[in-house]
Structure 1
Amino acid sequence: MSEFAGVPIRQPLAGVRVLDLTDGSGELCGRYLADLGADVVLLEPPGGAGARRKVPLHQGVSLYFAAYNANKRGITLDLRDDRDAFLRLVDAADLLIESGRPGELAAVGLGPDELRARNPRVIVVSITDFGQDGPYRDWVATDWTQLAMGGVLARNGLPGLPPLMPPGHLAGESAALQAAWAALVAYRNRLDTGVGDHVDAAVYEMTAQVVDPGYGIAGSATGGVPAPEMPRGRPDARHLYPIFPCADGYVRICLLAKRQWRGMFTWLGEPAEFADPKYDATHVRFRAAKQLYALIGDLFRDRSRDELVAEGQRHGVPIAALLSPGEVLHGDHFAVRGGFVDAEIAAGLSARMPTGPAELDGVHAGFRHRAPAPGEHTAAVLAEWQPRPTPEPAPVPGRRRPLAGLRVLDLGVIVVGAELGRLLADQGADVIKVENRAFPDGSRQSARGERLSVTFAWGHRNKRSLGLDLRSPEGANLFRRLATDADVILSNFKPGTLESLGLGYTDLKALNPRLIMADSSALGSTGPWAKRMGYGPLVRASVGLTELWRYPDVEGSFSDASTIYPDHIAARVGATAVLALLIERVRTGTGGTVSIAQAETTFTQFAPEFLRESLEPATFRALGNAGEWNAPYGVYPCLGEDEWCAITVRTDDDWQRLCGVLGRLDWAADPALATAAGRIAAREKLDAQLAEWTATLAPREVMALLQDAGVPAGAMQRLTEYPADPQLAARGFLRPVTHPFIGHEFLTEAGPARFEHVAEPELRPAPLAGQHTREIARELLGLDDARIEALLAAGVLEESEISEGEPS
């Protein structure tokens, strides 16, 4: 147990040693493990890591470095001159995280194979742009090229305008959080087998899986239509989660459930033209959006954001104000919750730091101390880190799923709820989706009338389904019986829901002290906004992202309506914290709680920008497709209809390479363009002339030419192009799957990374609601057939229409 500002902080990974060699990419992986209590030691070369000079800088301090290396200790070693000292650290380490180019460490005899030959128990996590093999192995990338290639750019923006880059650095920081999940999966496997691993984590694949996955479960407003089947262009999706101007800005609403629409109907004064019960259906309202939204616009226009949010809450209408990052940083809700903390982030420099994305036992497991100065802890770490005998078992060969044998009761709904349970199920846990038709999971909706949609199948593979009415006394008692032998319970209801049913952690802990309960919510389980209804679009509005996710010069051009963010990220954050508690439970035998606020997940991913905003107000703003720190850095039109390529010049060397490909010796020799500042000043001219060149070539031609020269470039890839992409195909990113209730084969994503000793996920089909009720009632509750029939007749248990003989 550690503490910050006198408050004890649970550290489930205490005693786990992590040697962190990341530099400029992947640091958030080690930072999150450090948040959870691991002893993460950042190893830098003499002179300090390059990330210490990574923008944004404030008074010479890299805010990126400060954000993602907090809670770590730091040492300085030269891997050539201090090789023996480094190898002694490897001997003592549990995990080693590195972000060098593929083969870079192997070239000096320190590659994963060499390190694991020396210490077979160490887990090496390699975070690279494209992975350790495949045709793109040696390509270079930036966040923007990853978002272009990873299927995100193609779905961002408005019709008739260029595709729009999302704000921040979502690719790299999302990948880092998934790498933390993969690292703990391998570590949990080692606890059981005694065998280390090499985790091959490719940012390209992780971007496609996590930021806004095209082959992952989608929001209920999509009606179950898979993203790859959406129209080719960027259709206007603003009707899904509409934004309305008001007296002092904008508000966004989400009308998905019938009861939400009824609240809006009452708020509007029950207009006769919308009185027909057919408007209870979401897709019917969408068809009438023009007329309906005109009425709502008239109602909202002259009222303030605060007034509208308060009245919306009274009517049961999910609503949020569009806030600026500055308003978020200094707002009451996150101040009460401790979502930000004023702290020293570097010697002599204090700022407002996002605390961290997870709460353990009700306390943020986040920021405790600043990032280390170069070499600050070298002597202490070299003295403390010694090889230690372990009680771990003798090595076990083969590949396995490390969560096999664990039982999870999954009450999660929509995207984040589905994904958290699915991550655990993929690693072998018996995940039982507990559901009730009176409160159906919105992700089961299908605008096409399917029995089960492909998008639901993605989000709930490898699970079983139990139909159970928790609101009936007998149903709650059955759930308590299941909880007595469960390992984990997951939920993402409005805070307080389970407690009102007598099924909160305090109630269930008395029955099962080993139980781990994890919940997620939009804005957190405490604070003035805790009871607000929350969906991803409202989270983005409430944390300032919607305001940033727009074309800077086009009024009202908010472009995040079709985005599924931060749901999939929050699920990884939650799964990693749950796994950390499971790892701790091996030692202690006790459970605990995990709480994830989606809002605070975004703060973590935008930590450098929020730090900068706290020090330099109004700097966290919408940038569109113009990179702030260098030029050319943008999205450029290519040959063909709506074809684009992201090109990003990082350094002066990149600039010279770009000039070489274009044959622009005049540019290369121009002293005014020799620096980033000079190129930024000439951005408009450079972009125009670069666009003339790209417009004559297909996007993959542009990408190949520039990548061959070492310039980061990424073609805007559509989801339908994934199966033919050479890199994704070579690395088995997508796997074919069939489902007994879906009439065609479809593709699904593979695991979170490549492992040597962790098996790929099974591909057992997602269940119909209540499909396994009888099976679970017999197997886990010990009920006989007569009792099951009585409970089904009473509505306490529910089952699907299928017979037990059908595939499950």
Structure 2
Amino acid sequence: MLSDPLPQPVSAALAGVRVLDIVSGGMALTGRVLADFGALVTRVDFQNGGQGRSDPDRAITRTDIEQLALGRGKLALAIDRAVPADRDRLLNAIRDCDILIDDGGLAALEDARFANAALRAANPALIILNLSDFGEASPLACWRATNPVLHALSGGLSRSGRPGHPPVMPPEAIAKACAAVHAAFVALLAFTERLESGRGDLIDFSILDGVVQALDPGFGVNGSAAAGVRASELPRGRPDVHHQYPIIPCADGYVRLCVLSPRQWQAMFKWMGEPAEFADPAYEQLRTRFNSTTLVPAIARFFADKTRAELEQQGQAIGVPTAALQSADEAIDSDQNRSRQLYEAHRLRGVDIRLPRAPVEVDGTRLPLTTPDRDAQRARAALLRNDTGVPRAQSAGPLQGLRVIDMGVIVVGAETGRLLADAGADVIKIENPAFPDGVRQTQDGSVMSPSFAAGGRNKRSLSLNLRDPEGKALFLDLVAQADVLLSNFKPGTLDALGFDDETLRAINPGLVSIQSSAFGSTGPRSRQLGYGPLVRAATGLSALWCSLDDPGSFSDAMTVYPDHVAGRLGALSALALLVQRKATGAGGKATIAQAEIILDHLGVDMAVASLRAQGQQIDDDPDAPWGVYPCGGDDDWCVVTIENDAQWTALARLIGFEGHDTANRSDRARHRPAIEHALTSWLAERSSYEAMERLQASGVPAGAMLRVADMPGFPHFVSRGFFREIAHPAIPAPFLVEARPVRAQNMPDPDQAPAPLIGQDSDAVLSDWLGLSPSQMQDLMARNIIGTIR
């Protein structure tokens, strides 16, 4: 897979990949991710008869800051729609690129030359990534989705908030940010296929589908605390799950705990002074601790006179995963971020704006990677061209023939390897029965849960004792045959096992290594125990994820963000380094900091809040209502958002508000309480579905709050074939998973091979990869070097 190493290395993984970016708003992150890896990304700036150019004297807007953050590393191509020569220039630029990312700008030209069929006829190798709110193949294709609407329709809003209280809107920006990373991944997956087949593709990307898959998929792999219970099986209402990852008050704020394993509970018990009330060995089980009504209050009493810093230091020192809950400002200025030089200042019209750098490092260098000059780009593009003239079979997965060693655990580990396995790679999950993956645990003790079955599908399992010298030697033999190595341990874990970078590179110079960790490979937090809930607390996200009228109502306990999007960024990093290896023969190592993913996604919001706190005027926030409103049914809610004057007027007319003709913005602000009252009364008489349909028909972005169990029957997901029912021999009933990463003309649907039991494929893997004989494997098994299911 991606063999034939060639010389002429340059300094960027995706050098030679030419991308034309016709995207606005949050989804512009799609192109920026590719630019961060060194692709030559050109942003198209449409002008209208000379209108639309920036006025250097006007006040800074949120849109300005967003463009600054998402335009990083991109070139600009100004196109005046009214000028025929400019249209010709745009057409030539499209014909000369590898990947075209478009969110509807070409359709607005109403020019047949820019239709998908015409563009692909002119350039059969072109990959067209069409971004739209709901995709083309959806009954909702004409609807409009804002970030709040995406949170509502993706099932996330229904899991956010306290029982018996209104749902709490998650920080908005993370919805499209997750979808954009997924879009960049599928675009690069299509490009990887093109390297082998010479064939382009047409991708119909629904932003809603991207959010469902990459933010917190209700039918995907869950965190350890879920113990195999899927989100679709949860009771109606917002479940009370504060005990899973409790946020506990202390002397100067709050700390969060993630006590999951028996070993972690034993350390917690000793830390508390071994209180007799919790001495029963049954407390080593998640179910016992979660069902206790006295445990969390007892921990709170123990924490009451201690500071956040004391608790974090003490907990981490004894193996209890602990993190201080920080505000957004504290997170930005943390010792960890300063030591990693995460934030850099940008000057915009005389104002300093701090924005985070990318959350990925390649071979020790922080993205964005240096973009080579045009001559070097052209040389690399020539090396990446497919000249075999032998197209690969249509049914083959894009990564067919790729060999992957998967040491990943829990959600990030499961997702990174699963994405590559779904694309056809041979992914070998290395396991040890003495230390099972946390996602394998179930509440009823069964050997397989739907959660692990979702995250482990299409993989094979090798049970290997890496604490034994022979087991280590076997592992290094596997590394010599591998293309990719995946892991998400604390930094230093692989080194301690004897698998440091120098050793691995000497065995296999072409190896691509992807390492994900909570806080990054360096800095004072780098060696801390890290779980998604701790990362959210340390980055300020948990503090932001609260009801506006109840600052202590932390509502992120049900989510597993950023785990799923981190998995996609890891898989994308692997593809980028494989593209580099195609041209240079050299492998590489990417390290990903999950905390920095969150800070990247929230970068614009945090910058705006910081500037406003300094007294800076930042404009272009909506001036009409948006929010989560109750409807006529039981615990029935609808999100309503307003983006512009036309939508404001449409909403006012629909609900019969007499001030709908008010054109002055300040007048509209005075009317806001009245229109909020009118809207609330109008919604109370309708179900959320009826309200959503009538609002969207009027041009107002709105979304009913879907529960995860509602999603398979929702018309959008039905029409797109989003879900697929699969079975597993160890699970009594069939269950649902996402059918495919995206709808595309030439990308085949993934296989659905059942997730393996521990060691189920040990014999086959060692035979396929290393050519070991049955007698050799029997000897290894007899000495507990390997294990297998008999």
Coarse TM-score class (shorter-chain normalised): over 0.9
Q: Distance in 2 between matches of 1:68 and 1:51?
A: 18
Q: Distance in 2 between matches of 1:115 and 1:727?
A: 28
User: 1:663 matched to which residue of 2?
Assistant: 656
Match of 1:462 among 458, 464, 479: 458
Give CA deviations for 1:723-744 in whole Å, capped at 9, x if unaligned. 2111111111011111111111
Q: Which amino acid in structure 2 is aligned with residue 359 of structure 1? A: E
Structure 1 residue 16 corresponds to structure 2 residue 5: no
User: 2:275 matched to which residue of 1?
Assistant: 271
Q: Which amino acid in structure 1 is aligned with residue 234 of structure 2? A: M
Structure 1 residues 681 and 741, CA gap change in structure 2 (3 angstroms): farther
Give CA deviations for 1:660-708 in whole Å, capped at 9, x if unaligned. 22233x121345xx42x54445444322221111111111111111111
User: 1:339 matched to which residue of 2?
Assistant: 342
Displacement of 1:711: 1.0
Give CA deviations for 1:761-799 in whole Å, capped at 9, x if unaligned. 111111111111121122223322233222222221122
User: 1:244 matched to which residue of 2?
Assistant: 248
Structure 1 residue 66 corresponds to structure 2 residue 58: no
Displacement of 1:247: 1.2
Match of 2:222 among 218, 223, 228: 218
Q: Distance in 2 between matches of 1:105 and 1:448?
A: 58
Q: Distance in 1 between matches of 2:59 and 2:97?
A: 32
Q: Retained in 2: the 8 A contact 1:254–1:318?
A: yes
Give CA deviations for 1:43-92 in whole Å, capped at 9, x if unaligned. 11126997979xx9737871111110111111101245222111211121
Q: Which amino acid in structure 2 is aligned with residue 215 of structure 1? A: F
User: 2:3 matched to which residue of 1?
Assistant: none
User: 2:638 matched to which residue of 1?
Assistant: 645
Structure 1 residue 125 corresponds to structure 2 residue 129: yes
Secondary structure of the 2:80 match is coil
Q: Which amino acid in structure 2 is aligned with residue 716 of structure 1? A: M
Q: Which amino acid in structure 1 is aligned with residue 624 of structure 2? A: A
Q: Retained in 2: the 8 A contact 1:361–1:594?
A: yes
Match of 2:778 among 768, 785, 789: 789
Secondary structure of the 2:734 match is strand
Q: Distance in 1 between matches of 2:667 and 2:269?
A: 56
Displacement of 1:614: 4.4
Displacement of 1:423: 0.5
Secondary structure of the 2:507 match is coil
Structure 1 residue 501 corresponds to structure 2 residue 490: no
User: 1:321 matched to which residue of 2?
Assistant: 324
Q: Distance in 2 between matches of 1:50 and 1:761?
A: 44
Structure 1 residue 28 corresponds to structure 2 residue 29: yes
What's the RMSD between the two structures over aligned residues?
A: 2.6
Q: Distance in 2 between matches of 1:242 and 1:186?
A: 42
Match of 1:696 among 666, 676, 685: 685
Secondary structure of the 2:339 match is helix
Q: Distance in 2 between matches of 1:728 and 1:122?
A: 28
Structure 1 residues 539 and 682, CA gap change in structure 2 (3 angstroms): farther
Q: Which amino acid in structure 1 is aligned with residue 767 of structure 2? A: R
User: 1:556 matched to which residue of 2?
Assistant: 552
- Comparing 609-618 with 255-264, which one deviates more in the overlay? 609-618
- Comparing 113-122 with 561-570, which one deviates more in the overlay? 113-122
In the TM superposition, what are the counterparts of 1:559-638 in structure 2 within 5 Å? 559-617=555-613, 629-638=622-631
User: 2:148 matched to which residue of 1?
Assistant: 144
Q: Distance in 2 between matches of 1:245 and 1:698?
A: 39
User: 1:424 matched to which residue of 2?
Assistant: 420
Displacement of 1:388: 7.3
User: 1:806 matched to which residue of 2?
Assistant: none
Match of 2:295 among 267, 292, 295: 292
Structure 1 residues 102 and 696, CA gap change in structure 2 (3 angstroms): farther
Match of 1:751 among 721, 724, 740: 740
Displacement of 1:568: 0.4
Q: Which amino acid in structure 2 is aligned with residue 408 of structure 1? A: V
Q: Which amino acid in structure 2 is aligned with residue 272 of structure 1? A: A
Q: Retained in 2: the 8 A contact 1:326–1:613?
A: no
Q: Structure 2 length as normaliser, TM-score?
A: 0.93
User: 2:6 matched to which residue of 1?
Assistant: none
Q: Which amino acid in structure 2 is aligned with residue 735 of structure 1? A: R
- Structure 2 alignment gaps of length 5 or more: 1-8
User: 1:303 matched to which residue of 2?
Assistant: 306
Structure 1 residues 595 and 62, CA gap change in structure 2 (3 angstroms): same
User: 2:728 matched to which residue of 1?
Assistant: 739
Q: Retained in 2: the 8 A contact 1:195–1:395?
A: no
Q: Distance in 2 between matches of 1:50 and 1:643?
A: 42
Q: Distance in 2 between matches of 1:170 and 1:34?
A: 20
Secondary structure of the 1:245 match is strand
Q: Distance in 1 between matches of 2:310 and 2:109?
A: 58
User: 1:394 matched to which residue of 2?
Assistant: 389
Structure 1 residues 585 and 182, CA gap change in structure 2 (3 angstroms): same
Q: Which amino acid in structure 2 is aligned with residue 28 of structure 1? A: L
Displacement of 1:525: 1.3
Structure 1 residues 49 and 39, CA gap change in structure 2 (3 angstroms): farther
User: 1:259 matched to which residue of 2?
Assistant: 263
Q: Retained in 2: the 8 A contact 1:214–1:719?
A: yes
Give CA deviations for 1:539-596 in whole Å, capped at 9, x if unaligned. 0000000000011221421011111100001111111111000011111111010111
Q: Retained in 2: the 8 A contact 1:492–1:520?
A: yes
Displacement of 1:201: 0.9
Q: Retained in 2: the 8 A contact 1:464–1:772?
A: yes
Give CA deviations for 1:477-529 in whole Å, capped at 9, x if unaligned. 11000000100010111110110111122211100000011111111111000
Q: Distance in 1 between matches of 2:281 and 2:328?
A: 40
Displacement of 1:605: 1.0
Q: Distance in 1 between matches of 2:536 and 2:52?
A: 32
Structure 1 residues 175 and 543, CA gap change in structure 2 (3 angstroms): same
Q: Retained in 1: the 8 A contact 2:13–2:580?
A: yes
Q: Distance in 2 between matches of 1:530 and 1:592?
A: 21
Q: Retained in 1: the 8 A contact 2:107–2:114?
A: no
Q: Distance in 1 between matches of 2:22 and 2:621?
A: 27
Q: Distance in 1 between matches of 2:22 and 2:387?
A: 26
Displacement of 1:384: 9.0
Q: Retained in 1: the 8 A contact 2:218–2:230?
A: yes
Secondary structure of the 2:681 match is helix
Give CA deviations for 1:239-260 in whole Å, capped at 9, x if unaligned. 1011111111110011001111
Give CA deviations for 1:75-131 in whole Å, capped at 9, x if unaligned. 101245222111211121011111117954565541221111111111111111000
Structure 1 residues 182 and 629, CA gap change in structure 2 (3 angstroms): same
Q: Structure 1 length as normaliser, TM-score?
A: 0.91
Give CA deviations for 1:630-668 in whole Å, capped at 9, x if unaligned. 32111111121001111101111001111222233x121
Report the count of equivalent residues.
Answer: 770
Displacement of 1:281: 1.0
Q: Which amino acid in structure 2 is aligned with residue 750 of structure 1? A: A
Structure 1 residues 244 and 222, CA gap change in structure 2 (3 angstroms): same
User: 2:706 matched to which residue of 1?
Assistant: 717
Structure 1 residues 456 and 107, CA gap change in structure 2 (3 angstroms): farther
Structure 1 residues 504 and 683, CA gap change in structure 2 (3 angstroms): farther
Q: Retained in 1: the 8 A contact 2:198–2:386?
A: no
- Comparing 17-26 with 180-189, which one deviates more in the overlay? 17-26
Q: Identity over aligned residues, as a percent? A: 44
Q: Retained in 2: the 8 A contact 1:101–1:138?
A: no
Q: Distance in 2 between matches of 1:284 and 1:645?
A: 36
User: 2:448 matched to which residue of 1?
Assistant: 452
